[in-house]
């Protein structure tokens, strides 16, 4: 059965519900984030086994800086530590790690780990994992617009030659459009996730909190995707 499944080319996961999961278990929010990251790692390995090519993970939005300082620091330290400790496994699994988001406001410590990960994994040919950290979809569109305007001013691009390809290649990462967006925890919103790339994505909103979003539940979400009829504006088949 698993062999016959058709994988989307690019999946986006909005990792949500770590805090509520922890609360339900009588644990701290930090423990929820730890459990969430552990689950995330296992899910990445499983997704690659299923043949996924591109996986974008929304793990920290620009807006998440509004959270209390202790939680923000805990998350940033967790990301830095995990990028460091999981580095060898990423290499062994041949995964390529890239990042989307603004560098400003991120500490030197996390930027260093992100840069090492990007540089060392850049020639890997397995699944591409795009971590969205300090990411906001509106800001990505703003930053893309500024980059293109600057190149027009510098005479590198002519206004008439700007097309959709120009837009993709000036976003944080030049990735294929999202085919499927999964947001755990039951919230029915994008919260500023990859607004441009989401233009024709299918959506899935499992009610499960992320740390409890098992490989089986992920597989069920893929089965659901296989039952969708993607028309892209054409006639129903
Ligand atoms: C998702 O879990 C992780 C991040 C946004 C960093 P939350 O921390 O949003 O968990 P809830 O939504 O409060 O349960
Ligand atoms: C969305 O989750 C952002 C990430 C998953 C990184 P939030 O928990 O921050 O979103 P809202 O506040 O419920 O919209
Ligand atoms: Mg949340």
Residue 178 Cβ contacting ligand 1 at under 6 Å:
no
Token match 């689950």: residue? Answer: 39
What's the pLDDT tens digit per position in 31-81? 999 999 999 999 999 999 999 999 999 999 999 999 999 999 999 999 999
Q: Which of 64, 67, 100, 132 maximizes ligand 2 atoms within 8 Å of its Cβ, making it the mutation to test the pocket?
A: 64
Place of tokens 């969205």: 132
Based on DSSP, count helices (H) and strands (E) in the chain, helices before strands. 8, 6
Torsion, Cα of 140, 128, 180, 211 (10° steps): -100
Choose which residue among 14, 17, 70 to substitute to test ligand 1 binding: the one with the highest number of ligand atoms within 8 A of its C-beta: 17
Confidence category of residue 97, pLDDT binned at 50, 70, 90? very high
Residue 15 Cβ contacting ligand 1 at under 6 Å: yes
Q: State whether the beta carbon of 184 lies less than 6 angstroms from ligand 1.
A: no
Give the predicted TM-score (pTM) of the model: 0.97
Residue 3: pLDDT band by 50, 70, 90 thresholds?
Answer: low
Instruction: Say if CB 117 and CB 97 are below 8 A apart.
Output: yes
**Structure confidence at residue 42 (pLDDT):** 98
H or E stretch at 62: none
Angle between helices 29-49 and 69-85 (to 10 degrees): 40
| Residues identified as active-site | 16, 64
> What are 168-181's pLDDT values in tens digits?
999 999 999 999 99
d(CA 77, CA 53): 28
Residue 236's pLDDT is 85
Average pLDDT over residues 203-210: 98
- Residue range 204-216: average pLDDT? 98
Beta carbons within 8 Å of 112's beta carbon, 6+ residues apart: none
Among 14, 15, 16, 132, say which to mutate for ligand 2: greatest number of ligand atoms within 8 Å of CB. 16
Cα(228) to centroid of ligand 3, in Å? Answer: 27
Considering the chain, what is the average pLDDT of its residues?
97
Domain ranges in the chain are 10-136+177-226
Q: Beta strands 54-61 and 128-135: pairing type?
A: parallel
**Could you tell me which residues come within 8 angstroms of residue 159 by beta carbon, excluding any fewer than 6 positions away?**
152
Per-residue pLDDT tens over the stretch 139-185? 999 999 999 999 999 999 999 999 999 999 999 999 999 999 999 99
| Residue 77: both structure tokens together | 């330290």
Q: Tell me, what's the pLDDT at 237?
A: 72
For a pLDDT cut of 90, what percent of the chain falls above it? 97
Residue 7's pLDDT band (boundaries 50, 70, 90)? very high
182 CA to centre of ligand 1 in angstroms: 14
Nearest to 102 by CA among 148, 47, 60, 42: 60
* 128-135/96-100 β-pairing: parallel
Specify the residue with its C-alpha closest to ligand 1, atom 12. Answer: 17
Ligand 1 centre and the CA of 101: distance in Å?
18
Instruction: Please say whether the beta carbons of 61 and 17 come within 8 A.
Output: no
Ligand 2 contacts (CB < 6 A) are 14-16, 58-61, 64, 187, 189, 191
Q: Strand pairing partners for 57?
A: 13, 131
Band of the pLDDT at 4, cuts 50, 70, 90? confident
CA of 14 to the centre of ligand 2 (A): 8
* Distance in angstroms (rounded) separating the CA atoms of residues 184 and 16: 5
Q: Given a cut of 60, is residue 215 above it in pLDDT?
A: yes
Q: For residue 127, give the nearest of 213, 43, 214, 1 by alpha carbon.
A: 43
Closest CA to 57 of 110, 121, 101: 101
Q: What is the CATH number of domain 10-136+177-226?
A: 3.40.1180.10
Residue-wise pLDDT for 121-130, tens only, equals 999 999 999 9
- What pLDDT sits at residue 188? 98
Residue nearest to atom 9 of ligand 2 (CA): 64
């Amino acid at each position: 059965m698993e062999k016959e499944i058709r994988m989307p080319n690019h999946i986006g996961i909005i990792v949500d519900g770590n805090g509520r999961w922890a609360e339900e278990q009588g644990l701290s929010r930090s423990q929820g984030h730890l459990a969430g990251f552990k689950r995330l790692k296992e899910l990445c390995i499983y997704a690659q086994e299923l043949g996924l090519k591109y996986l974008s993970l929304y793990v920290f939005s620009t807006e998440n800086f509004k959270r209390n300082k202790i939680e923000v620091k805990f998350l940033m330290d967790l990301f830095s530590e995990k990028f460091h400790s999981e580095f060898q496994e990423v290499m062994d699994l041949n995964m390529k790690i890239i990042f989307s988001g603004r560098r400003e406001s991120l500490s030197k410590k996390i930027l260093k780990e992100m840069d090492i990960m990007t540089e060392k994994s850049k020639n890997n040919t397995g699944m591409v994992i795009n971590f969205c950290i300090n990411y906001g979809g509106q800001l990505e569109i703003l930053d893309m617009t500024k980059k293109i305007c600057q190149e027009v001013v510098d005479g590198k691009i002519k206004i008439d030659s700007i097309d959709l390809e120009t837009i993709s290649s000036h976003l944080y990462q030049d990735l294929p459009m999202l085919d499927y967006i999964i947001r755990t925890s039951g919230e029915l919103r994008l919260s500023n996730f990859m607004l441009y790339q989401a233009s024709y994505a299918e959506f899935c909103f499992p009610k499960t909190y992320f740390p409890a979003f098992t490989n089986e539940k992920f597989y069920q979400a893929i089965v659901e995707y296989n039952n969708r009829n993607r028309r892209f504006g054409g006639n129903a088949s």
